A and B are shown apart, each in its own frame.
Chain A
Amino acid sequence: MTESASSEPEPPSPKPRAAAAGNGMRLVVPLQGVVQGRGGLILGSLIPCALFYFFQLYLKRHRSPKRPPASSSNPPSPSASSPNHGDLARTSSRSNLLGRGSIGPVQLSSRGMAIAKPNDSPYYVGLEKVAGDPFHRVDNPDGKIQLGFSENTLCFDLIERWMKENLMDSLMGGDGAELSINGMATYQPFDGLMELKVAMADFMSRVMGKGVSFDPSQMVLMAGAAPAIEILTFCLADLGNAFLIPTPYYPGFDRDIKFRTGVELIPVHCRSADNFMLTVTALDQAYNQARKRGLKVRGILISNPSNPVGNILSRETLYELLDFAQEKNIHIISDEIFAGSLYGTTKEFVSMAEIIEAEEFDKSRVHIIYGLSKDLSLPGFRVGVVYSYNENILAAAKRLARFSSISAPTQRLLISMLSDTKFIEEYIETNRRRIRRMYDLFVGGLDQLGIQCAKSSGGLYCWANMSVLIALYSEKGELELWDKLLNVGKVNVTPGSACHCIEPGWFRCCFAALAEEDVPLVMERIGKVAEMCKSGQ
């Protein structure tokens, strides 16, 4: 209406309208003036803005101080969807403008809000679904089978037996009752007891091959690999910096590295043609692209054996990585948490520590992450290691360890266990043997269903190519298959997209928490879904 009026040089409409209307026209006239560019700009824009502002002020002043609906409607479960989070953020900045006494929704920090949002990654969703309906051979034979969590229960019998035979030592620390109470009830060094560091150093060199020895004084212990990687990140990178990371990678890194440090992860895509092995070309490309985007790369994070593929990096690749890091003046973080979970027979695991010891590289940029969650099957005990050659990083990590220290009685128990070298040797060897057996059974079973796995040598999982089963060769197709496997097949696997894999159709299947007799059932269920897909359902 007003537009057509404004196209005429002399609008005839205002006059008759002004004559006809009452109070309303006093508002409309300035607005028309704005549109016609006749100096009604100030009034025409100020008045509505002012009205809006005062209306908001009125609303805020008179809103009840009770729990705002947005946050109170959330059930405590972390998976609850909270669609109002975005609104909360915006409103808070407005409440700031209104100053003291404004009653608005309660503000958490922006990073707090981001973290509290439910995680819709299939990695986490799958884990939760199984937790709600877990398979049990006797009690719940129709429950969902967990193949999405890389844990190892194959050698618990050994540990249980050791516990039974060595109980007094394990609690009392070998020194009698006196030590146990004082040990747990007084403050201990935050970066771990020296005896545990010595025991861990010994364990690590047994696990990684006798060619390398670890120095306990270069170790900082903390409550799990998650705090270990976070603390190392805080030491190596500032907010907004980045690490290069080969894909596919462990979904947990998105949390452990990014959550609170504000450090970015830049994927370096690896392809099936290379068996998902990292190439320096890809690394270089990713590095340059990051630079162009203005991101400062502080390091490369590799996992070796890799998760989720299970590759072992060759000596040559490790040399190339070190050269690259030296050239760009960045760090290398080698997550070797699966070093003891090997099943391959052709390739030999080489730790970064071994390369570094032997060659003339600048050691100050190399750091190793380790832990007992995988190789000793004790994730509940929370033991992680940062191993570094850089004394400044060590000093910084030691101070940060106070936020994540290992519980003292757990340290004492482990000192006992790890010092029993005969038991440890037996454990390492038996563990490898049993993992190998499960791997053969599982991969063999998949093979019979026409599903091939990537060539791998370590880890508690295999990397299966199910692209033949997906209708649409895309992430969407992959997720549809994942959903079928989870809800129809009742088997939870981790889809490649959750691991940032660039090729759709790959799935990580963990087999080390299964019993041998359950494998045929797993294959049957996967087979059923495969049939469904092939017949186009």
Chain B
Amino acid sequence: MVFKLNNQLLSRMAIGDGHGENSSYFDGWKAYDSDPYHHQNNPDGVIQMGLAENQLCFDKVEEWLKKNPAASICTPEGVAGFKDVAIFQDYHGLPQFRNAVAKFMGKVRGDRVSFDPDRIVMAGGATGAHETVAFCLADPGEALLVPTPYYPGFDRDLRWRTGVQLVPIECDSANNFKLRMEDLEAAYEMAKLNNIRVKGLLLTNPSNPLGTILDGDTLRNIAAFTNENNIHLICDEIYSATVFGKPDYVSIAEIVDEDRKSGRNVLNLDLIHIVYSLSKDMGFPGLRVGIVYSYNDVVVSCARKMSSFGLVSAQTQHMIGSMLSDAEFVEEFLGANRARLAERHGAFTGGLGRVGIRCLRSSNAGLFVWMDLRRLLKEQSVEAETALWRVIINEVKLNVSPGSSFHCSEPGWFRVCFANMDDETMEVALGRIRAFVAKHKEAMKPARKLCAQSSLKLSFSGRIYDEFIMSPRSPIPQSPLVRART
């Protein structure tokens, strides 16, 4: 019943949708989808460690929902509000929702800063928020600077429909992948030399995949740089509530606040924007709550109009509005979130450490670790990393994400998510890793045995890795990332 294509009928975007489905990265997802781990039913299945979900605090949310039935319009207490919610499609959003989100964002930052509810603009998840910001700030062909390693979804979210380019700024392990001012300046100059018009810099803070945060001074220097060069500074702070240890988190909002309160007023606030979401901090990716927060009134206006394409369901706004207005709950949730993440992170890195596997030491945030497996590579190359990755998927049966998919310039690093499982599953995963390391201790340096597959040459310029493939329940693998049309 469904007809085959008549190529002339498709837009370039529809045709250009790469058959990244043939990318070997899909082996990881395919392996998981075809053989998902389950305690009882499939104890030898592949454990999903490539999806950054936060499932550690469900019980808190469930408890709150039970105690607050009016928050849901699907309860006797709440149904009276049904009509108003069902009809509400104003792109300004429910005032209660915006107020609650603004308060929540402030709480996450220890109430050191406050957020203006009128600057809160909805978007279809963080995905939609990033795309909206790119549409607002850059025209096709213009570029954003992004430090590596970075979330693979940026290649799609920021470039695909917008036509915007990404210019990577390479960071390396010599200083824990921290962005250096000289690298930022050099990348900017190089872009200009190549006639690329840079419109802004995108920072993910806390970082995905590193799990590190930027200290106040670095953030200040970066803000000064973008300010001086009159380019935008976009701060993706979607992991801000996952900071579980010292040093304390510093948000760009605090830098802005500092600049204003001190009377210096050096920063041009029209250049500063924050992308936020509830998908990671609260573990609510299914709710599709994305937020664009900009200090630039024109951007707020523009993003708000675009939010028609990704409004948050009024039912969800209503529920979140209630939940996040409950200061006591928020306090308790944030505390529990941090504590449990710290515990899980400690247990996981501890377990890895005992078998000699190191993770990025400065990591104190995020839902993952940045694992260093360089010693296990037969050579320091992307091919070797890919070969090792295939082994980890097929033999160790863990779906982890190879550093090359994050555009990491050094092979051998892997992002491993630990917050989307219970303790038992984590122990199983650690057990498998222990067994693997033990087996390969002898075969480490000169080992050729690691590489089992045919020597696939992969060029990473075009291959993009989609991390948001289906959740365990759905059998159909999500389509791969698409190569953006230039």
Out of B58, B79, B192, name the residue touching A164 (CB < 8 Å): B79
**B96-119, CB under 8 A of A: which get 1 and which 0?**
000000000000000000000011
On whether A381 and B315 interact (CB within 8 A), knowing A78-B301, A389-B2, the answer reads yes
Which of A82, A100, A223 is the most central at the interface, judged by chain B CB atoms within 10 Å of its CB? Answer: A223
A380 close to B306 (CB less than 8 A) = no
Nearest chain B CB to A261 CB, angstrom units: 8
B161 close to A400 (CB less than 8 A) = yes
Residues from chain A with a CB closer than 8 A to the CB of B136 are: 108-109, 112, 115-116
Out of B61, B75, B131, name the residue touching A403 (CB < 8 Å): B131
Out of A102, A164, A170, A188, name the residue touching B230 (CB < 8 Å): A102
On whether A407 and B302 interact (CB within 8 A), knowing A109-B139, A170-B74, A392-B14, the answer reads no
Out of B58, B304, B309, name the residue touching A230 (CB < 8 Å): B309
What residue of chain B has the Cβ atom nearest to residue A114's Cβ?
A: B302
On whether A223 and B9 interact (CB within 8 A), knowing A71-B298, A111-B135, the answer reads no
A181 close to B228 (CB less than 8 A) = no
What residue of chain B has the Cβ atom nearest to residue A179's Cβ?
A: B473
B435 at the interface (CB under 8 A from A): no
A116 close to B13 (CB less than 8 A) = no
Give the residues from 380 to 406 in chain A that come closer than 8 angstroms, CB to CB, to chain B: 380-382, 389-396, 398-400, 402-406
Which of A74, A185, A396, A399 is the most central at the interface, judged by chain B CB atoms within 10 Å of its CB? Answer: A185
A490 at the interface (CB under 8 A from B): no
On whether A405 and B124 interact (CB within 8 A), knowing A106-B270, A234-B13, the answer reads yes
A268 at the interface (CB under 8 A from B): no
**A359-371, CB under 8 A of B: which get 1 and which 0?**
0001111000000
Give the residues from 446 to 478 in chain B that come closer than 8 angstroms, CB to CB, to chain A: 468, 470-474, 476, 478
B218 at the interface (CB under 8 A from A): no
B313 at the interface (CB under 8 A from A): yes
A373 at the interface (CB under 8 A from B): yes
What residue of chain B has the Cβ atom nearest to residue A116's Cβ?
A: B302
B13 close to A238 (CB less than 8 A) = yes
Residues from chain A with a CB closer than 8 A to the CB of B289 are: 407
B165 at the interface (CB under 8 A from A): no
B139 close to A111 (CB less than 8 A) = yes
**A75-87, CB under 8 A of B: which get 1 and which 0?**
1111010100000
A380 close to B85 (CB less than 8 A) = yes
B288 close to A235 (CB less than 8 A) = no
On whether A74 and B87 interact (CB within 8 A), knowing A223-B310, A236-B9, A363-B3, the answer reads no
Residues from chain B with a CB closer than 8 A to the CB of A77 are: 301
A396 close to B14 (CB less than 8 A) = yes
Which of A108, A182, A364 is the most central at the interface, judged by chain B CB atoms within 10 Å of its CB? Answer: A108
A58 at the interface (CB under 8 A from B): no
B155 at the interface (CB under 8 A from A): no
Give the residues from 72 to 87 in chain B that come closer than 8 angstroms, CB to CB, to chain A: 72-76, 79, 82-83, 85-87
**A331-365, CB under 8 A of B: which get 1 and which 0?**
10000000000000000000000000000001111
B73 close to A163 (CB less than 8 A) = yes
Chain B interface residue number, banded: 35 or more
Nearest chain A CB to B215 CB, angstrom units: 25
Residues from chain B with a CB closer than 8 A to the CB of A382 are: 89, 311-314
A171 close to B74 (CB less than 8 A) = yes
Nearest chain B CB to A279 CB, angstrom units: 25
Residues from chain A with a CB closer than 8 A to the CB of B351 are: none
A14 at the interface (CB under 8 A from B): no
Out of A66, A75, A389, name the residue touching B3 (CB < 8 Å): A389
Pick out which of these stretches binds chain A: B34-42, B261-269, B360-368: B261-269
B75 close to A156 (CB less than 8 A) = no
Residues from chain A with a CB closer than 8 A to the CB of B79 are: 160, 163-164, 167
A391 close to B2 (CB less than 8 A) = yes
On whether A115 and B305 interact (CB within 8 A), knowing A378-B86, A389-B1, A399-B479, the answer reads yes
On whether A405 and B470 interact (CB within 8 A), knowing A106-B268, A188-B286, A260-B135, the answer reads no
Residues of chain A whose beta carbon lies under 8 Å from any beta carbon of chain B: 65-68, 71-72, 74-78, 80, 82, 95-96, 100-104, 106-113, 115-116, 131, 151, 153, 156, 159-160, 163-164, 167, 170-171, 177, 180-190, 194, 215, 217-218, 223-224, 226-227, 230, 234-239, 241, 255-256, 259-260, 298, 329-331, 362-365, 373, 377-382, 389-396, 398-400, 402-410, 413
Would you list 18 pairs from A and B whose C-beta atoms are within 8 A, ordered by A residue? Answer: A65-B227, A66-B265, A71-B296, A109-B138, A116-B302, A131-B90, A182-B58, A186-B473, A187-B285, A223-B124, A227-B310, A235-B13, A235-B14, A255-B308, A364-B4, A364-B6, A396-B17, A406-B288
Residues of chain B whose beta carbon lies under 8 Å from any beta carbon of chain A: 1-6, 8-15, 17, 51, 53, 55, 58, 61-62, 65, 72-76, 79, 82-83, 85-90, 118-119, 124-125, 127-128, 131, 135-140, 142, 157, 161, 192, 197, 199, 227-230, 232, 265-266, 268-271, 283-289, 296-302, 304-306, 308-316, 319, 468, 470-474, 476, 478-479, 482
